[in-house]
Amino acid sequence: MARMFRRREEIRKQLTELIAIFKEKGATSPEKAMTAEELGLPPRFQEAMHRRLGISGIFVEANGKYYLSEERLKEVQEKLSARRF
C-alpha cells in the first residue's frame, strides 16, 4: 500500500514539473505551442500523451506541438480538491 502512495506522489511531482516547464516557456495556448524538443521534454512525454496524460486534456497536441491547457488544468485541480473532502 505504501508503494502505491509513493508512486502516486512521484507522478504528482513529475506532473508539477511538466506544468512548470510549459508555464516557464510560455506554451499555454495553441498559438504558443512548442515541440517536445523546444520544451526540453523527456522522450517518454510523447509516449505518455498516448495514454493517461493525453486523456487528461491538461496537455494538448496541435500539429506536433504541445501546450498546457490552463483551463483544463484548473478543472482537474478543482475535481481533485472536491474528491479529497
**What pLDDT sits at residue 83?**
75
H helices within the chain, ranges in order? 2-25, 36-39, 44-49, 52-56, 70-84
Domain ranges in the chain are 2-84
**What pLDDT sits at residue 28?**
97
Model pLDDT for residues 20-59, shown as the tens digit of each residue: 999 999 999 999 999 999 999 988 998 999 998 888 899 9
pTM: 0.85
Q: Is the Cβ–Cβ distance between 7 and 1 less than 8 Å? A: no
